[in-house]
Amino acid sequence: MSRGTVYALVNQKGGTGKTQSTENIGIALANEGKRVLLVDLDPQGSLTISLGYPKTDDIPVTVTDIMSKVLQEVPLEPGEGIIHNKEGVDLLPANISLAGMEVSLVNVMARERILKEYLDSVKRDYDVVLIDCNPSLGMLTINAMTAADRLIIPMQAQYLSAKGLEALLQTVSKVKRQMNPGLKIDGILLTMVDGRTNYGKEISDLVRNVYGGKIRVYDTEIPHSVRAAEISAAGESIFRHDPKGKVAEAYRNLTKEVLKNAEIARKHSAFEL
């Protein structure tokens, strides 16, 4: 994995497992010895809460403050706003103030590049940065896509989720064309898959058949699990909450896929040079 590769986990639909996947891929990468920064880009602060910081309004410095300083061209202190989490990852937290930032970005020059400007200044300190996006295709998500090298698209194994993918892919194409020509989709991640039902298998097959020729669909699927649903309340990753369970095993396997894709991409770019 090249130094400071930035991944954004995007889907305009809520409840697709973006936050759970950001947290658990990040911590699985940290367990593999990678230096990881997680960025919460959702005003609900779900990633921040999931990592054990439930009182988001009490956090002194959040991503809102950092983006505001970038907007105003105010210098940042090294490591400003970054929390060192007990599970080995760093976090740039978020709270409801981020909703106001999205509104204020509308009238700003180069507004889609504010997050990129910040991440370009810190990503040399990390092997990988993972951005948990809010469930919309608004200015915050555009910022994440503009800053990202690669996208991970978590989606529930449901028919309506598959339909919603088209709007997302159109936005990705637009960002790639106008703002970030190097942007790639690392893969579509099927989440909350109920392997016991024919329906879950049908949706999985549908997504692989319709999109698999153009976009990688990860071999690993994240199974539906009550234990996984508990982790945000527990304030810890699946690796602490249920380390021997099927979801922890799935995220370990998924992380190996992500690392393998990164290695293939690195070799490919070296070959092109």
Would you call 196 helix, strand, or coil by DSSP? coil
Q: Which residue has the higher pLDDT, 213 or 131?
A: 131
Beta bridge partners of 156: 191
**Averaged pLDDT of the chain:** 90
Confidence band, pLDDT 50/70/90 cuts, at residue 183: very high
Mean pLDDT, range 37-53, rounded to an integer = 96
Confidence band, pLDDT 50/70/90 cuts, at residue 162: low
The predicted structure's pLDDT at residue 74:
95
Q: What is the DSSP string of 76-93?
A: PPTTTT-EE-TTS-EEE-
Rounded-to-5 percentages of helix, strand, coil across the chain: 50, 15, 35
Confidence band, pLDDT 50/70/90 cuts, at residue 273: very low
Amino acid at 263: E
Amino acid at 255: T
Confidence band, pLDDT 50/70/90 cuts, at residue 226: confident
Alpha-carbon dihedral of residues 160, 44, 84, 115, nearest 10 degrees? 80
Quote the DSSP letter at residue 74.
P
Confidence band, pLDDT 50/70/90 cuts, at residue 51: very high
Reading the block at residue 225, the tokens are 């699990």
Q: Write down the pTM of the prediction.
A: 0.94
Structural contact between residues 96 and 45, judged by C-beta atoms closer than 8 angstroms: yes
Mean pLDDT, range 163-173, rounded to an integer = 87
28-37, 230-239, 243-252, 254-263, range with the lowest pLDDT: 230-239
The predicted structure's pLDDT at residue 2:
53
- The CATH number of the structural domain formed by 5-268 is 3.40.50.300
What's the gap between Cα 150 and its chain centre? 10
CA distance 115 to 175: 14
- Tell me: pLDDT of 229 over 90: no
